[in-house]
């Protein structure tokens, strides 16, 4: 097993892998949308994804190296908060579920145009008119959900471990 493979072992490693999938997917989605719709401001998400990727990878590395103590606690907290805020919350729930899943369900379900315009005002939002853009949009909650599930499992393992074992074992949870 390579160092990179072992870094992504366990629940927290799987959460980070799924989070990285969200970030890669949303980067492609926003870059494509920026070009497709002539909205270069969408490219800001590529920068957000890059910074978030750096924070996640650095925190996971510290967590793996620490095996306890305040550095391990801090790394676990940073990983948790970053995962919940960006890949799960901002991208999976808001961008994926609201901006795409709900919009598509309402649009293809025949919702009135004025309701769609109120909920999804142009030019920030586009009504469905491109399969690739919508597909990459509605897929974002899938890896975000996997990231959340793995994170919950990491918490469960952390709090069900015996005293003094939580920080040591969280990096090794399978």
More confident residue, 64 or 84: 84
- State yes or no: pLDDT of 174 exceeds 50: no
Degrees, nearest 5: CA angle 111-114-115: 50
76 near 170, Cβ under 8 Å?
yes
1 assigned to some structural domain: no
**How many domains, the chain?**
1
What is the percent of the chain where pLDDT is above 70?
A: 90
2 assigned to some structural domain: no
Residue 67: pLDDT band with limits 50, 70, 90: confident
152 assigned to some structural domain: yes
53 assigned to some structural domain: yes
Domain extent for 75: 7-170
76 assigned to some structural domain: yes
41 assigned to some structural domain: yes
């Amino acid at each position: 097993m390579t160092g990179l493979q072992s870094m992504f072992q366990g629940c927290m490693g799987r959460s980070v892998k799924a989070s990285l999938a969200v970030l890669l997917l949303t980067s492609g989605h926003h870059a494509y949308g920026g070009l497709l719709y002539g909205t270069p401001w969408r490219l800001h998400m590529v920068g957000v994804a890059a910074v978030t990727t750096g924070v996640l990878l650095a925190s996971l590395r510290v967590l793996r190296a620490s095996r306890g103590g305040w550095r391990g606690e801090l790394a676990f907290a940073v990983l948790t908060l970053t995962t919940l805020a960006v890949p799960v919350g901002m991208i999976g729930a808001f961008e994926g579920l609201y901006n795409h899943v709900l919009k598509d369900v309402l649009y293809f379900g025949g919702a009135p145009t004025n309701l769609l315009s109120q909920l999804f005002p142009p030019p920030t939002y586009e009504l469905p008119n491109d399969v690739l853009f919508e597909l990459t949009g509605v897929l974002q909650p899938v890896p975000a959900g996997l990231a959340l599930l793995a994170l919950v499992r990491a918490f469960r393992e952390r709090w069900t471990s015996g005293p003094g074992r939580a920080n040591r074992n969280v990096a090794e949870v399978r």
